[in-house]
Amino acid sequence: MTITALQSSVHPAVEGGLRLQVTNISAQTDSISSITLVDPSGGRLPSYVPGSHLVVQYGSGVNAYSLTGSGNAPSEYIISVLRVDEGAGGSIAMHQLEVGDLVFVSYPRSAFAPVSNASHHLLVAAGIGITPILSHARAASDRGTTSSLIYVYRPGAGAHVDEARELMGSALTECGDRNSFQKVLTEQLTTQSLGTHLYVCGPVDFMDSVLNQARELGWSQARLHSEAFGAAELDDGEPFTVNLVRSGVKLDVPAGVSLLETLEKAGKTIPNMCRKGICGECVLPVLRGTPQHRDLYLTDEEKASNTTMMCCVSRSEDPELELDL
């Protein structure tokens, strides 16, 4: 139980959550493993909304992973983890887990829910983005709603391919390259009946491309649903100063250091989770100045109003920002 020994304290993001035991680890591909977690006392786990994710603690950090089941009265939670060698270390720690280890996890969190009155779900996944999409496909099948799936993966690097084939049958289209995917996507985007909603998960540029094409073909925003799991690489940015009005403190944020890190070093406790501009946890109220928004959470309108910012990735257009802190 190597990991448990390292978990000296419970991370705030998983506090009040669950303590689960690893009962199975199976390799999906060379770099993706599925990890099965159960309640050590044998109880049933809380149900979750399809497309939900679990925050899992590794050492002193946390990462979010999509649950792959339908979410209906589960006896186990299964996540699939892609090993990212140049990441923050979470995926490597997850790959070092062994059967019998105990891990701290949050309750499932829903940020990618299906639309309940949709008559058809058009699901699009690339690479490890298959995980929440598989949850949607299973839930749709359980509820008797039809769905179709376009799954893009590099040959030999596809996780859950057999499950997807068994579940979807002829409603699954597998693509090994961008060209064949383009053709299938355009065909699917132009032939859907009116009750269809689209769900996409994959790398950010992949999702942007799918969503842009859908919009160009007349899909309204309310039909489009996406879940980001990897933010694009961000540059170091320019240094700036923050004026914490309520505390009466001014702090310098150097290039290459985030506002969140600067605030933490100054002893401020800012709720946060993904630290990638995705989850929305570290939102801060802005009193004056124009933030340089680099997150994927705020809407375009919210960004334009310049009254809030995500301090994990966003910086400042002006030399100084005033925060209500």
Partner 1 sequence: MCSMSMPQAAVAGLEPGFRGVICASFGLTGDTAGYDPGAQPRHELHFDAATPAALAGLRSALERSNVGVRLVLSGPPAEIRAAAALAADCGLLDEEVTLLEALAGPRVIYCPHCHTTTIMQGDGAEVECQGCATTLAVTDHFSRRMGAYLGYSAYAEEAS
Q: How far is CA 248 from CA 175, 245, 318, 322, in A?
A: 56, 5, 19, 10
Binding track, positions 219-238, relative to partner 1; x by CB under 8 A: xxxxx---------------
CB of 117 to partner 1, least distance (A): 8
Q: How many C-beta atoms lie closer than 10 Å to residue 290's C-beta? A: 12
Q: Does 199 bind partner 1 (CB under 8 A)?
A: no
Q: Write down the least CB distance from residue 52 to partner 1, Å.
A: 24
User: Which position among 133, 189, 244, 325 is part of the footprint of partner 1 (CB under 8 A)?
Assistant: 189
5 contacts partner 1 (rule: CB under 8 A): no
> Total number of residues binding partner 1 (CB under 8 A)?
17
Stretches 75-83, 199-207, 216-224, 226-234: which one binds partner 1 (CB under 8 A)? 216-224
Assign 3-class secondary structure to 222-286: HHEEEEECCCCCCCCCCCEEEEECCCCEEEEECCCCCHHHHHHHCCCCCCCCCCCCCCCCCEEEE
Please, which residue, 185 or 263, has the CB nearer to partner 1? Answer: 185
Question: Is residue 143 near partner 1 by the rule CB under 8 A?
Answer: no
- Pick from 8, 9, 179, 193 the residue near partner 1 by CB under 8 A: 193
Confirm or reject binding of residue 119 to partner 1 (CB under 8 A): yes
- How far apart are alpha carbons 173 and 72 in whole angstroms? 26
**Neighbouring residues of 122: CB distance < 8 A, sequence distance ≥ 6:** 147, 148, 150, 188, 192, 196, 197, 198, 199
Element (H, E) at 56: strand 53-58
Chain contacts with partner 1 (rule: CB under 8 A): 118-119, 189-196, 217-223
